[in-house]
Amino acid sequence: MRTVLREPRRLLSSALAIVLGVAFTCATLILGSSLSRSYADQVAGRVKDASVVVNAAAITPETVAQINALPGVTGTRPLVESGRSAGSPAYYVQILTLPQGGSTTVLQGRLPTGDSEIVINEAMAQAGHLKVGDRAPWPDSTDTIVGIVKPGSDASAYPSQPAVLAPDKTALRLADNTYAFVMVSGPDGAALAATIKALPALSGDKATVAEAAAWTAK
């Protein structure tokens, strides 16, 4: 103690190190909390007013039809969330359903109106050096980029990741005819989740079926 008191600069350095350490820890916690809240908001945006969320590696349109036919189901909203590589050097591209009437904002061009029309986000435009009027950046593509957009929370949980967004039919084709999510509406989420989980295509560990509130809170 006497040594430290004799050398006030050493005491000042120690105090400064403690202050900086505390400040860094607080900043890290605040940033982590902000990112978690942002991701939760994005997830909630895709769930909307659904009662149950079904998630699997590959959900076929036939399985969606089976869910839609179950007692208590008032509606289904299947979503493509797939990916593929593009460019050289290669980068990862999300393939996503473009929600109808959603919160996605057009920055350039327009939204798709045809089966072979897609839009991309700014991250995709930058990564692939792409612009409106170009073809999608994979071999033999017949899909044309008609717009550059800012995806809304109902379209993507990772808006900063390069992404291609398209209406259901086109997105489904680009994702090898499979969905990743089905948002299911109905008055009794718990009963619906149990009924959906009993479907052979979704039973066991083939899929995650959860009430929407529990899914959003993950």
CA distance 73 to 96: 24
Residues of the chain with pLDDT under 50: 4-5, 15-17, 19-41
pLDDT at site 43:
56
By the 8 A CB rule, do 144 and 112 touch? no
Q: For tokens 């969320």, what's the residue?
A: 53
> For residue 191, what are its two tokens?
């009963």
- How far from 218 is each of 36, 68, 141, 192, CA to CA, in Å? 10, 25, 37, 19
pLDDT at site 194:
96
pLDDT at site 10:
55
pLDDT at site 20:
45
pLDDT at site 153:
87
Measured from the Cβ of residue 67, the count of other Cβ atoms closer than 10 Å reads: 22
pLDDT at site 191:
96
DSSP character string of 167-211: -HHHHHHHTTT-EEEEEEE-S-HHHHHHHHHTSTTTTTTT-EEEE
pLDDT at site 124:
96
pLDDT at site 29:
36
